[in-house]
Structure formats: structure tokens, C-alpha cells
Structure 1
Amino acid sequence: MSSSSPKGLSRIAANRLHKELKEWQMNPPAGFKHKVSDNLQRWIVEVNGAPNTLYENETYYLQVDFPENYPMEAPQVIFTHNPPLHPHIYSNGHICLDILYDSWSPAMTVSSICISILSMLSSSTEKARPVDNDRYVRNCRNGKSPKETRWWFHDDKV
């Protein structure tokens, strides 16, 4: 690899992402496929619902955007296209999951994020939008990032 890093990423972030991508290619998390592209700063990940869950045989897509100082800062992770119906996933694809915000740790990886999201989906007992979906989505117009949201993590049942 050359000494320069991709535009927008620090050298540390680029090195970390190259390492994570290599590990992913050798041992991808079950139920996920990385859609290959030449953009290291944005990953598109195919998510397949786990067997014997409400999301079995369903496919979704995550867009993972890495900040310049990843892994010190969490990536932005959203569902694209048709997000799953889930009490913690808004219709605009934003995900209410503490590890993506307040509980982020630089020790986490894209694989660990994906496993957490699949676990969140798998443990759901109902397919429904969050109760405040319409208000939240309305407030996020004009491309507001989920990282700009003040999340209130109060539901540990789903």
C-alpha cells in the first residue's frame, strides 16, 4: 500500500479499514456480504435475516460511512432502500442502537456492528416502526445524520 491514504480518511483509519476488509474477506460474519467497491470510506453490506426469526429469508442493505478519524469515532450506519420493520429502525433507515453512538468503542469493528444489528433484528418479537417514527423522520429531512440525534436508549427488550 502506498503511504497516502484515501481522500477523507486518516492514515490510521485507512490502515484499520484495509485490515478489517481483509479479515472480513477471509471470515465474513454469518448472514452478511460486503458489496465490493473501490470506496474504502463507504461500505455497502447485504444483511440476510437469520433463520427462525421474523426476518428469515429477507434481505436488507446497510450503508456504513467511516469518518476521517475511525476507529476513534463510530461510523454512520443506516439501512438503505427498504429498511426492516423493527421497533428500533426508522423508516429513513436510521438505527437506534447504542453502540453506534454513546457506547461506541474503538475496539469494535464492522463485523461486531453487523453482529449486533443482526442480534437486534433476531430478538424482535414484532415487526413495527418505532412509535415516534413519523415525527423523527420529519425532523431528519434535509439529510440530517443519525449521529446528530440525541438518542434515548431506554428499551432493552428488543
Structure 2
Amino acid sequence: MTSSSAPSRKALSKIACNRLQKELTEWQVNPPTGFRHKVNDNLQKWKIDVTGAPGMLYENETYQLQVEFPVNYPMEAPQAFFVPPGPLHPHIYSNGHICLDILYDSWSPAMTVSSVCISILSMLSSSPAKERPADNDRYVKNCKNGRSPKETRWWFHDDKV
């Protein structure tokens, strides 16, 4: 019988549970600047407030990031996306999906939730303009029915933003 809180999710492996407990403890002691974990009782799904860095385009703007961990985390990347409305950014779609290589092809088990958050904040901080990706409408239309960003075949071609 599956848990009523996550009927479609499998339970985390022991390795994933131990790793996430450790990351959560480290986060509580030393959270990354600009991020606040919203405490809940679901270790497999974190909600994190992201506040734009001082002096940057998104300064003092706060967005909610949701991070969901697969059964075999950290061997597999977490799924991270902004709960709409996310920031207007050339690599963030209006459905909250983030085009960032470390969330997909460049993931390493050595990475942590904190390192993912720092990468996302760096991506936000380096943006020259608040705008959606050029293919936003087409992409979002193709992601209907709750399609995961992990099902996308991303093309990482812009390392400036």
C-alpha cells in the first residue's frame, strides 16, 4: 500500500534518505545565501524561497522553487522547477521549468541541493534582461498534462546567462 501523501511516488532508498537528512541538517546550520527552506514533513519534496541577489536584476524579488528527489538520489538528479509565476528569465519557462545543464546531463552525485540553488541564483544574477526563452510558448504547449522537465531533450547552447 502506498502512502496517501504520495501515491504515485516510490519511497526513497535508504541511501537517498540518509543523504537528504544530512543535506537538510547542513542546510539548517548553514543555508545558502538568498534561500529559505520551507519546512514540511516530506523529505522527498522541498519548497524553497529564492530571493534575488542584492544589486542584481532580481534584487529583493522572491520566487518559490520546488525540488523533488527521485528514489535513487543522489545517483539521479533532483527535479527542480519554479512554482509559477517564476522569474522572467531567458532559461526559465513560464511553466517553471529551468533549462540548466546540472539538472540534467551534467548532474553529479557530488552535487547537493545547496549547490543546485547556488547555480540557479548565479544563473539569475547573470541575466542581462527579464524575458522568457524565445521558444517559451511552443515548449509550454508541448508540456501539457504535467510533463516533467526531465522528459525534455534539452539543448544547452548558451553559457552566458
Q: When the two structures are superposed, what TM-score results if normalisation uses the length of structure 1?
A: 0.95
Distance in 2 between the 1:142 and 1:56 partners?
33
Moved more, 7-16 or 135-144: 7-16
Give the number of equivalent residue pairs: 152
1:157 partner letter:
K
Whichever residue aligns with residue 112 of structure 1, its letter is S
Offset of residue 101 of structure 1: 0.1
Q: Aligned runs of 1:2-151 on 2, under 5 Å?
A: 8-151=11-154
Question: For the residues of structure 1 that align with 2:39 and 2:96, how far apart are their CA atoms?
Answer: 21
Q: After the TM superposition, list the runs of 4 or more consecutive aligned residues in structure 1 that deviate by more than 2 angstroms.
A: none
For residue 33 of structure 1, report the CA deviation from its aligned partner.
Answer: 0.3
SS at 2:23's partner residue? helix
Q: Tell me the SS of whatever aligns to 1:115.
A: helix
Cα contact 2:84–2:94 (8 A) shared by 1: no
Deviation at 1:8, TM superposition (A): 1.3
Sequence identity, in percent? 78
Once the two structures are superposed, residues 50-102 of structure 1 have per-residue CA deviations (whole angstroms, 9 ceiling, x without a partner) of 00111001000100000000000000000003100000000000000000000
SS at match of 1:121: helix
Q: Secondary structure at the match of 1:63?
A: strand
SS in 2 for 1:56: coil
Q: 2: CA distance between counterparts of 1:81 and 1:92? A: 6
Mark the runs of 5 or more structure 2 residues left unpaired by the alignment. Answer: 1-9
Runs of 5+ unmatched residues, structure 1: 1-6
